[in-house]
Each structure stands twice: as C-alpha cells, then as structure tokens.
Amino acid sequence: MKLKSFMLAACAAAMTTGAAQADGLKVGMITTLSGGGAGLGIDVRDGFMLAVKQSGRSDIELVVEDDQRKPDVAVQLADKLVQSEKVDVLTGIIWSNLAMAVVPSVTAQGKFYLSPNAGPSALAGKGCHPNYFNVSWQNDAFNEAAGAWATENGVEKVFLLAPNYPAGKDMIAGFKRFYDGEVSNEVYTKLGQTDYAAEIAQIRADDADMLYYFLPGGMGISFMKQYAGSGADKPVMGPAFSFDQGILGAIGEAALGVKNTSHWSKDLDVPGNAEFVASFTEEFGRLPSLYAAQGFDTGLLLASAMEKADVSDADAFRAALKEADFQSVRGDFKFAPNHHPIHTIYMREVVKEGDVVTNKVIGVAAEDHTDAYGVDCKM
C-alpha cells in the first residue's frame, strides 16, 4: 500500500515537473499575511502582483503562502513549495529571522531567492550565495545613511533607542558606523514593549541634541504617540520602518517633523514612480508603502530576467538577474558583487498633505550606498 501510494506520488510529481519546465516560471511567495505584521506582507504581495500584471506576462504562475511570522512555518512552506509545488523562484519573506531559516536551504537546492524585504548581515557577507538576490536593502543601510546625515548636519550628541534583539543592535551599530559625534546614552528595550514612559523620562532628562530610534511596527506607534504627549521636544530620527505609510496613519500628527531615511518615497522624482503610486492607489485603494515599492521592484526584476533567459538555464537566468535591467521606482539600482543593492538613500520628513500624514523627500542621505559586509562574500 505504502509503495503503491509512493509510486503514485512519484508519477504525479514527474508529471507536474514536466509541465512546469516546458516554459514559463513558477514563483513561490512566502510572506506574512496574518498576525501582527500582516500589513507588510500584504503590501509586498500586492506590489509584486501589480508588477507581474503590468508586465503583461501570462507565463508567471504565483503560489502565495502565509508564514504567520513563524520561522518553523516558513521552513515547512519552503519545503512544500520546493518539493511538491516545484517552484523555480522563491520570494516574499519579510523578517530577517525567517529569511535566515529559509534562504540558505532553498538556495542550496538550486532555487533562486529574491528578497523583497530583510537583509540580514550573514547573507550579505560570509553566507552570500549566487542564487540569492536582495532587492530591498541590507539591514544596516538606512541606519548608516542616517548616521552619515547626522554627522554632516552637525548633530553633536545623540540618544539611541532600540529593542533588545539582534536586528535592534545591528541597526544601532549601523548608525554608529557612520556617526562621528557623541552618544549620550544607548537604551535597549524589551522586544514587543508597549509602554515607554520610563524611557521617555530618561530621554527628556538627557542632554542629547537628537533622539535616534528603531522600533518597528506597533512598538514605534506606541512610542511616538507617548513621546509626542510627554512634552519632550528633542528632534527625532529613525530608519523608515518606524515611519512608513501603514504606520503613519496610526500615529497621526504626533509624527509630524520626524526625519527618516529610506531608499524610496512616493514623491521621489524618478521615471515610473508616479505611475506606480497612481496605479497602486487605484488598484488597492490605499497609498503604497515602501514594502509595496520593494514588492513591485522584485516583480520588475523577475520580469526583466525572464525577457533575457529561461529559468531552466540557471546560469543564464542568474546572469540576467544580476544585470538588474529594470527601472526601479527608487531610481538607479545596481547589484553589488554580493547581490545586494547599490542605491541612494534619501532623508524624508513626515509632513501633512491635506488630511494625509505622509513623507516628503528633503535630501540625499547617502549617494550610491552599498553595504559593509560585501568584502566577506566569496562567490
């Protein structure tokens, strides 16, 4: 019985492989569609699907799965997508810890992985892989640019705040790498903390010129609302994750005037960006976030590579991806030798446009920025 069903499964698998390899390409998307971080995954998915739709290609088959922000679920889904769905390309993961759990095994099995978000340093340095392409950023990028901007604009003393987990410490380390001034205090909070009264009191009593913080998702919303209500008046800066479109709606006017670094903004004057913002808004009825822009770029990259090579010829397809021959909505985009982006990071400010609280570009924070880990990448 067991043997029989095994053979049946093998036959079925052989049949589907035959069908999939003939032409076209199958994409497996593992992303977060439920739980606290679902907004990010939904934006990546929608941006990606919009790019696929606009490319006019009918030969891209997309399988979307929800990882629930759990590494173990993501690993199971990756196994399923690779072994039974026989996908050629994987994408979609939002969180660094999930990426670390999935990407190395997937690329080792010869599949391509395009990261639409999350760029853990391990995958940019020693753990880089020819089949891994990061279309978003290396985790430190926004922070390094912010540090450079603070140095250039004469910020002398800064107060640093982040959650006590690896990404939080990486972000702060990234800021300090390019910041020459003094650090008055460095505070690490519990991951998922929602009340910041104690930290805010410390910040108010501190003599720093500026507060720099990284608190993703709900933590950032809570912090900013409490900070604005506390009567504290230090200027605030952070990476864009804490001040993105999906989050600004919940913070409201408390975020006005906050500076944040990002590789993309909806008002960026780049060919195709205005069209992207307009078509995304029309299709989904909300403003795109930077995650949507990253999903869109990932879709564009995939379509551009498919124009040049068939995925069954892995070397040619890899070379085609490497060329990055597409117009990114963030402007110039190239892959560094470690397959991470070389791109410009902008400084944005939170402003009010009519009734909508949103971001406006106020300058360049780092031109043609690339990550610090590429030197360790041997491939």
Partner 1 sequence: MDLVLLIEQLLNGLQFGVMLFLMAAGLTLIFGVMGLINLAHGSLYMVGAFAAAAVASATGSFTLALIASLAAAAIAGVIVEMVVIRRLYDRDHLDQVLATFALILIFSEGTRWVFGSFPLYLDVPSALSGAVDLPFGISYPAYRLAIIGIGFVVAFGLFLLITRTRIGMRIRAGESDREMIAALGVNIAVLYTAVFALGAALAGFAGALVGAIQSVQVGMGEPVLILAFVTIVIGGIGSIRGAFVGALLVGLTDTMGRVLLPVLFGAFMNPSAATSIGSALASMSIYILMAAILLFKPTGLYGSA
Residue 83 touches partner 1, criterion: CB under 8 A: no
Residue 250 touches partner 1, criterion: CB under 8 A: yes
| Given 16, 54, 55, 226, the residue binding partner 1 (CB under 8 A) | 226
Residue 304 touches partner 1, criterion: CB under 8 A: no
Listed ranges 7-15, 17-25, 245-253, 261-269: which one lies at the site for partner 1 (CB under 8 A): 245-253
Listed ranges 217-225, 304-312, 335-343, 367-375: which one lies at the site for partner 1 (CB under 8 A): 217-225
Q: What is the largest CA-CA distance in the chain?
A: 75
- Report in angstroms how near the CB of residue 37 gets to partner 1 at its nearest: 9
Residue with tokens 């590579």: 305
Residue 182 touches partner 1, criterion: CB under 8 A: no
| Given 221, 237, 290, 350, the residue binding partner 1 (CB under 8 A) | 221
- Report in angstroms how near the CB of residue 210 gets to partner 1 at its nearest: 19
Residue 157 touches partner 1, criterion: CB under 8 A: no
| 367 Cβ contact partners less than 8 Å away, ≥ 6 residues apart | 344
Pick 43 or 371: Cβ nearer partner 1: 43
Q: State how far the alpha carbon of 223 is from the alpha carbons of 60, 244, 247, 286, in Å.
A: 42, 15, 12, 24
| 92 Cβ contact partners less than 8 Å away, ≥ 6 residues apart | 28, 29, 30, 31, 41, 44, 45, 48, 64, 116
Run of H or E including 133 = strand 132-134
- CB-based contact 370:340 (threshold 8 Å): yes
| Given 16, 55, 202, 304, the residue binding partner 1 (CB under 8 A) | 202
- CB-based contact 77:67 (threshold 8 Å): yes
What gap in Å lies between CA 41 and CA 47, rounded to an integer?
A: 10
- CB-based contact 226:196 (threshold 8 Å): yes
| Given 10, 11, 15, 198, the residue binding partner 1 (CB under 8 A) | 198
- CB-based contact 124:371 (threshold 8 Å): yes
Pick 293 or 300: Cβ nearer partner 1: 293
Listed ranges 2-10, 18-26, 115-123, 199-207: which one lies at the site for partner 1 (CB under 8 A): 199-207
Total site size for partner 1, rule CB under 8 A: 38
- Report in angstroms how near the CB of residue 220 gets to partner 1 at its nearest: 8
- CB-based contact 227:156 (threshold 8 Å): no
SS3 76: helix
- Report in angstroms how near the CB of residue 54 gets to partner 1 at its nearest: 24
| Given 57, 73, 122, 188, the residue binding partner 1 (CB under 8 A) | 188
| Given 143, 189, 260, 358, the residue binding partner 1 (CB under 8 A) | 189
- Report in angstroms how near the CB of residue 267 gets to partner 1 at its nearest: 21
Residue 22 touches partner 1, criterion: CB under 8 A: no
Residue with tokens 């999350």: 118
| Given 195, 275, 307, 367, the residue binding partner 1 (CB under 8 A) | 195
Torsion angle of the four alpha carbons 126, 131, 135, 141, in this order, in degrees rounded to the nearest 10: 0
Q: How far is CA 47 from the centre of its chain?
A: 12
Residue 181 touches partner 1, criterion: CB under 8 A: no
| Given 252, 331, 337, 374, the residue binding partner 1 (CB under 8 A) | 252
What gap in Å lies between CA 35 and CA 46, rounded to an integer?
A: 17
CB count in 10 Å sphere of residue 24 = 16
Residue 164 touches partner 1, criterion: CB under 8 A: yes
- CB-based contact 195:220 (threshold 8 Å): no
Residues 42-81 that bind partner 1 (CB under 8 A): 42
Run of H or E including 89 = strand 89-91
- Report in angstroms how near the CB of residue 133 gets to partner 1 at its nearest: 27
Pick 201 or 362: Cβ nearer partner 1: 201
- CB-based contact 366:263 (threshold 8 Å): no
Q: Which residues bind partner 1 (CB under 8 A)?
A: 34-36, 38-39, 42, 164, 186-190, 192, 194-195, 197-199, 201-202, 205, 217-219, 221-222, 225-226, 229-231, 246-247, 249-252, 254
